[in-house]
Structure 1
Amino acid sequence: MGHSHQAEMLDLDTEVLHEYHREVITWVGASTPDRPRILDLGAGTGTGSLALARHLPDAHVTAVDVDEPMLEHLRHKATTLGVDDRIHTVQADLDQPWPPLGPVDLVWASASLHHLADPVRALTRARDVLRPGGAIMVTELDSFPRFLPDPAGEALEERCHAVLAERRAEAGLHMDDAWGARLTEAGFTVETERRFDIVLRPPLPAAANRYAHLALQRMRHGLADRLGAADLAALDTITAGVLDRDDLVVRATRTVWLGRRPA
């Protein structure tokens, strides 16, 4: 998938799963002091940075990502929303030595740590930029969302997700890491772990159809050399018609850990 589709998927995740995102942002907002300085690691299109800046009107956010086009997308949205004076972007590879980023009161890492070659090293650096007593919020997903409600569709999605999990493991992605243990290893005290089992049933907004369409396209692209011909053909047929369906069900799981640097 190209950059524009990837950026759109990230934005649609926030739009479609808005109740989950609002709950997490409200929760983390209650864990920050007045006028917090926030570090968003692997910010992507800035859905977390923007939500935090809007929810906490006295917050200042530093958004870090390796992808400059994503940061440009973030800056454009920040300007549109009128929060560009409180969001600063930094292009950096978090697996390399970090530029000066602290001190901060909150580190936000949403679905980003699994991409890193050495997440514990990154978490240790995050601890070092936090003020004593500062908080870290880590969000990770067990897998990407599922959408198909019929038994044949569900079975096809399960087969596709199983193959994707194999491919992610081969690529060294840390999707199944024990993040509570990783936080402890990096010197944090884990205060809370919350699992969100998200199920959105019809009627759904049109954004959910577009979200499903992009997700299925991404799946098809990633599995072109792994799935059998029959499954690829079925996936093509489903993807072609998913924008017009009114029976989709969005199913997703997210787990959130709140940790703290000891005072």
Structure 2
Amino acid sequence: MRKRQESPRLVVMDHGHHQRDTPHAHHHDHAGEGHAHGETDEAGLAEILDLDGEVLHAYLDDVVGWVAGATGPDVQRVVDLGAGTGTGTLALARRFPAAQVVAVDASATMLSRLSAAATDADLGDRVRTVCADLDAGWPGLADLDLAWAALSLHHVADPGRLLGQVHDALRPGGLLAVTEMTSASRFLPDDLGVGRPGLELRCHAALDAQPAPFDRYPDWDEALERAGFVTVERRTFSVTPPQPEPATARYARSYLSRLRPRLADDLAADDLATLDLLLDDTSPHGLLRRGDLRVQGSRTGWLARRV
């Protein structure tokens, strides 16, 4: 086992605005909005992040296992960049029982929820939080074994600069794991029993045609290479749960509720009316009353090593 330096001092960067006022809040948003605006929206984002972890836990286990296979067992220092409410942070802490895991996010509210979840999971002694805007600078971390950026890298204003900072913060041989959505998640059957068939396909087509398409990101291979990394592996993962999950309907409702404002000017009136029926908890067609929902989608992961 290699000899360790003393733990670096964690720098908590407070720029007076954090998540609510900056366009680059770096926790991930699975409904394609990327950042929150105010307490109500932030609460909705926190809900969807928690539901993502609850419904897609099998996918998360697969990705963390993939990462663990490349790092080996001697992982002691981990950072989760854009940690949100901490589903990834806690999964990493469980997988690497000797590691100290630092969760970095621009939202103090998200990090408060994360700290509470870590305490509830008896992981509070190994999980620390840093409230930092990654566009403003690197938060004083060094000698890392593993950096994790799940659905967050494309929200950064200058990904190349951040990748260079991550590279320098990793120890030689350290690993960066990046994941992104390959496509927007799907939940609905083609024929809903109300409205025209194919609603979800039309929703996705409308999002793709917008000036700021759904969670668009580049192929990170070149950016990783420019930052000095050697790409170890790239893999696509299915997020479809192997069996139905009890929280799927709540996840679908939270997800589609966040998309509804973005679709208001781009869907036909009858499609908007159908979507509103699905989001109406009092409707017999409401998502929370349906038993035919299933999450479908995929995410791409990159493993890159500092040599």
TM-score, length-scaled by structure 1: 0.91
Partner in structure 2 of residue 31 of structure 1: 70
Conserved 8 A contact 1:204-1:246: no
Report the identity percentage. Answer: 48
SS at match of 1:199: coil
Match of 2:148 among 103, 108, 116: 108
Paired residue type of 1:243 = L
Partner in structure 2 of residue 182 of structure 1: 223
Structure 2: gaps spanning 5 or more residues: 1-39, 281-285
Q: Distance in 2 between matches of 1:48 and 1:200?
A: 17
Matched, 1:194 2:235: yes
Conserved 8 A contact 1:148-1:154: no
Offset, 1:31: 2.8
Offset, 1:68: 1.0
SS at match of 2:198: helix
Conserved 8 A contact 2:232-2:303: yes
Higher helix share: 1
- Counting only pairs closer than 5 Å after superposition, residues 7-22 of structure 1 correspond to structure 2 as 7-22=46-61
SS at match of 1:147: coil
Matched, 1:160 2:200: no
Q: Distance in 2 between matches of 1:67 and 1:210?
A: 24
Match of 2:290 among 239, 245, 253: 245
Conserved 8 A contact 2:59-2:238: no
Partner in structure 1 of residue 157 of structure 2: 117
Q: Distance in 1 between matches of 2:247 and 2:86?
A: 19
Offset, 1:125: 0.8
Q: Structure 1 runs of 4+ off > 6 angstroms?
A: none
Q: Distance in 1 between matches of 2:191 and 2:240?
A: 17
Offset, 1:223: 2.0
Which is higher, the Rg of structure 1 or of structure 2?
A: 2
Offset, 1:151: 4.2
Conserved 8 A contact 1:108-1:136: yes
Structure 1: gaps spanning 5 or more residues: none
Distance 1:174 1:223, change over 3 A: closer
Partner in structure 1 of residue 169 of structure 2: 129
Conserved 8 A contact 1:41-1:63: yes
Q: Distance in 2 between matches of 1:136 and 1:55?
A: 16
SS at match of 1:213: helix
Q: Distance in 1 between matches of 2:92 and 2:241?
A: 24
Matched, 1:6 2:6: no
Conserved 8 A contact 2:249-2:293: yes
Higher strand share: 1
Conserved 8 A contact 2:102-2:130: yes
Distance 1:35 1:138, change over 3 A: closer
Match of 1:89 among 124, 129, 153: 129
Offset, 1:142: 2.4
SS at match of 1:234: helix
Offset, 1:204: 2.0
Offset, 1:154: 6.5
Which stretch shifts more, 22-31 or 244-253?
22-31
Size of the aligned set, in residue pairs, is: 259
Paired residue type of 1:175 = R
Offset, 1:146: 0.6
Partner in structure 1 of residue 212 of structure 2: 170
Distance 1:183 1:154, change over 3 A: farther
Conserved 8 A contact 2:224-2:230: yes
**What RMSD, in angstroms, separates the aligned Cα atoms of the two structures?**
2.0
